[in-house]
């Protein structure tokens, strides 16, 4: 039985209970050698060659399977699925689902061969996880080194052994998270007495770090630094991102901690890529928005708290009818962030190294999103981007108000104000109250999809940004909560979701007195992601919203 406590994309952390034995995962199976037996910290060991046995700390056998040694060559030509004792050996792509199998351990039988086949590795792990489901541990024998441990766990592997570190020790190699080097450079041994001790200690320490990064939700950052140790790892992460976005995205929450987007791979983080996709698929400006204003991002998040954006806000407040202006923040790796979505994850959480230089992939990504925004028929596009104005003007016809000056330079702000005054004066007058409603409508559409915009039908908005409530008559339907970075709903708001069949979770027929766990769920909207706001429905009636709001039953 698995008890999952933390997740970080496809990676997870928790406890596995097998009989009377409880062990943590992800975990390392120590294969003791004649010169270096398994250390006392080992929760799991592995023994045998032709038949492999997984043992607990007290020596009890938790699972076993035939390794495939000394099999005829034609044994490996077709996919192989062999049952052992509480273990299922899978070699090659499964031809169908294996979720009904009783075994708790699933062994990636050809893991060692995938060390030089990045695409094969990504395809094998993804197909195996999708086939066996989340309720089993995947074990990849002979594949782990300290440098790739984070990548293995991130991809969805739960168990790995020390076979490869011991083999590399015998070859005279010292393993580091950055790669390996010969034993002759013995200064790297530190306090270790042998290469074996050094390599196993390096792997064990990396496992502790990986577990911590899963717990705090930042494993992806660690993976992006570790993969640079070898071309295979860079390629494997790239294949996971480019070929298996859906596999990762559905396992990524819609909220999360602050993180660094320091590498090229950050462009394709599933949470970052999902944001860009949702902008393309779900976002559109309010019908009253007639002027598109392109502005740069800021180091401080959310943007509106930064000094540069406060200066821009002062200009906006000095312009009559500025409600017709749609602000769009240009940035990497998100591309373009509409002002109303600046609190939504990951727009308020990312940090990037700022150099002023943009590579071709970043430029094309930003141009694509800006072109999409410009396609909604604005009467005027103003670019207050500074040096970024050049490549933006390649795809949209805009007025550059910086003209080589800094974005907060008095002369640049003066030109910006003049252009806004002219454009806003020519547009139909729009009350601020209408603009506030449409801002929240845009947020609801981004968060819940097209049907979510109905949450704002007939509503008015109260409060001071960013703490905004939306009400229909005297009933509050929800509010913008910057701490969560999304709209939080009341029971009245949940009723709208239920009527629309959006973000609904069907529960069994029982009284809900606390949290709703998976065992009590009978159905759910497949668009829901971890951290989403949902309406919980029981027998056709609204029971709760996210469990925090409980309806009293008569």
Q: Which domains does the chain have, with CATH numbers?
A: 2-248 (3.20.20.105), 259-426 (3.40.50.10630), 432-550 (3.10.450.90)
Query: How far apart are the C-alpha atoms of 409 and 145, rounded to whole Å?
Result: 52
User: Span 322-351, mean pLDDT?
Assistant: 97
Predicted local distance difference test score (pLDDT) of residue 184? 79
Instruction: Give residue 87's Cα distance to chain centre.
Output: 30
Tokens read off for 165: 């570190």
The pLDDT tens digits of the residues spanning 476-485 come to 999 998 988 9
Provide the mean pLDDT of the chain.
92
Contact predicate 514/501, CB 8 Å: no
Tokens read off for 87: 């273990």
Tokens read off for 236: 């494997």
Of 174-183, 315-324, 456-465, which range is least confident?
174-183
The pLDDT tens digits of the residues spanning 105-114 come to 999 988 988 9
Predicted local distance difference test score (pLDDT) of residue 73? 59
In this predicted structure, the answer to whether residue 122 has a pLDDT above a threshold of 80 is yes
Predicted local distance difference test score (pLDDT) of residue 354? 82
Place of tokens 């700022």: 354
Strand (E) or helix (H) holding 278: helix 270-282
User: Span 118-126, mean pLDDT?
Assistant: 96
Predicted local distance difference test score (pLDDT) of residue 506? 96
Which of 146, 150, 132 lies closest to 11 in space, CA to CA?
150
Question: Helix, strand, or coil here: 51?
Answer: strand
Largest Cα separation within the chain, whole Å, is: 84
Beta bridge partner(s), residue 294: 328, 383
Query: How far apart are the C-alpha atoms of 49 and 31, rounded to whole Å?
Result: 11
User: Span 330-345, mean pLDDT?
Assistant: 97
Predicted local distance difference test score (pLDDT) of residue 547? 47
In this predicted structure, the answer to whether residue 492 has a pLDDT above a threshold of 90 is yes
User: Span 362-391, mean pLDDT?
Assistant: 93
Query: How far apart are the C-alpha atoms of 16 and 55, rounded to whole Å?
Result: 13
Model confidence at 8, in pLDDT bands (50, 70, 90)? very high
Burial (0-12, 13-18, 19+ Cβ within 10 Å), 92: middle
Query: How far apart are the C-alpha atoms of 107 and 87, rounded to whole Å?
Result: 7
Predicted local distance difference test score (pLDDT) of residue 389? 81
User: Span 276-289, mean pLDDT?
Assistant: 97
C-alpha angle 359/381/460, rounded to 5°? Answer: 110
The pLDDT tens digits of the residues spanning 77-98 come to 677 888 999 999 998 888 788 9
The pLDDT tens digits of the residues spanning 214-261 come to 999 999 999 999 999 999 999 999 999 999 999 999 999 999 999 999
Residue 22 Cα distances to 19, 200, 452, angstroms: 8, 22, 44
The pLDDT tens digits of the residues spanning 15-55 come to 999 988 999 999 999 987 677 778 878 899 999 888 999 99
Residues in the chain: 554
Predicted local distance difference test score (pLDDT) of residue 414? 97
Question: Helix, strand, or coil here: 536?
Answer: strand
Give 299-305 contacts, CB < 8 A, sequence gap 24+: 299/351, 299/354, 301/258, 301/347, 301/348, 301/349, 301/350, 301/351, 302/342, 302/343, 302/347, 302/348, 302/466, 302/482, 303/329, 303/337, 303/339, 303/342, 303/347, 304/339, 304/342, 304/465, 304/466
**Cis bond before residue 374 (omega within 30° of 0):** no
Q: Which residues fall within 8 angstroms of residue 549, CB to CB, at 6 or more apart?
A: 490, 491, 494
């Amino acid at each position: 039985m698995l008890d999952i406590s933390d997740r970080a994309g496809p990676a997870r952390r928790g406890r596995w209970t097998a009989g009377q034995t409880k062990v943590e995962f992800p975990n390392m199976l120590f294969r003791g050698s004649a010169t270096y037996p398994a250390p006392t910290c080992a929760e799991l060991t592995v023994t045998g060659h032709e038949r492999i046995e997984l043992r607990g700390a007290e020596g009890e056998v938790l699972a076993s399977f035939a390794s495939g040694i000394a099999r005829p060559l034609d044994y490996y030509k077709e996919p192989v699925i062999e049952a052992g004792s509480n273990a299922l050996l899978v070699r090659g792509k499964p031809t169908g689902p294996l979720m009904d199998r009783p075994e708790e351990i699933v062994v990636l039988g050809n893991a060692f061969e995938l060390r030089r086949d990045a695409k094969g590795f990504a395809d094998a792990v993804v197909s195996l996880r999708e086939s066996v489901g989340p309720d089993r541990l995947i074990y990849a024998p002979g594949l782990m080194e300290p440098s790739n441990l984070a990548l293995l766990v991130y991809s969805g592997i739960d168990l790995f052994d020390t076979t490869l570190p011991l083999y590399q020790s015998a070859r005279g190699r010292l393993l580091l998270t950055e790669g390996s080097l010969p034993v002759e450079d013995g200064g790297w041994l530190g306090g270790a007495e042998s290469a074996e001790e050094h390599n196993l200690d390096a792997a064990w320490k990396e496992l502790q770090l990986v577990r911590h990064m899963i717990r705090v939700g930042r494993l992806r950052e660690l993976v992006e630094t570790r993969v640079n140790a070898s071309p295979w790892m860079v390629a494997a992460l790239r294949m996971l991102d480019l070929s298996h976005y859906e596999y990762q995205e559905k396992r990524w929450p819609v909220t999360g901690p602050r993180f660094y987007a320091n590498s090229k791979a950050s462009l394709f983080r599933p949470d970052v890529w999902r944001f860009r996709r949702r902008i393309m698929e779900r976002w559109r400006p309010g019908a009253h928005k007639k002027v598109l204003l392109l502005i740069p991002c800021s180091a401080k998040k959310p943007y509106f708290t930064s000094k540069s954006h406060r200066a821009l806000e002062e200009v906006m407040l000095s312009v009559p009818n500025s409600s017709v202006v749609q602000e769009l923040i240009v940035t990497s790796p998100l591309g373009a962030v509409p002002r109303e979505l600046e609190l939504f994850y990951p727009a308020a959480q990312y940090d990037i190294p700022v150099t002023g230089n943009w590579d071709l992939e970043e430029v094309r990504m930003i141009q694509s999103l800006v072109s999409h925004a410009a396609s909604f028929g604005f009467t005027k596009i103003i670019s207050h981007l500074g040096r970024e104005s050049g490549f933006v003007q390649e795809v949209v016809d805009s007025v550059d108000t910086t003209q080589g000056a800094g974005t907060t330079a008095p002369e640049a702000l003066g030109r910006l104000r003049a252009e806004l005054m002219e454009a806003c004066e020519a547009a139909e007058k729009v009350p601020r109250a209408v603009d506030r409603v449409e801002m929240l409508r845009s947020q609801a559409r981004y968060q819940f999809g097209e049907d979510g915009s109905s949450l704002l039908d007939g509503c008015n908005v109260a409060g001071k940004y960013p703490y905004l409530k939306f009400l229909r008559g005297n009933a509050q339907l929800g509010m913008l909560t910057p701490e969560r970075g999304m709209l939080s709903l009341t029971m009245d708001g949940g009723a709208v979701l239920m009527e629309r069949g959006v973000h609904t979770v069907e529960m069994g027929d029982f009284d809900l007195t606390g949290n709703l766990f998976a065992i009590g769920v009978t159905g759910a909207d497949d668009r829901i992601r971890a951290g989403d706001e949902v309406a919980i429905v029981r027998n056709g009636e609204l029971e709760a919203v996210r469990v925090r709001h409980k309806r009293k039953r008569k």
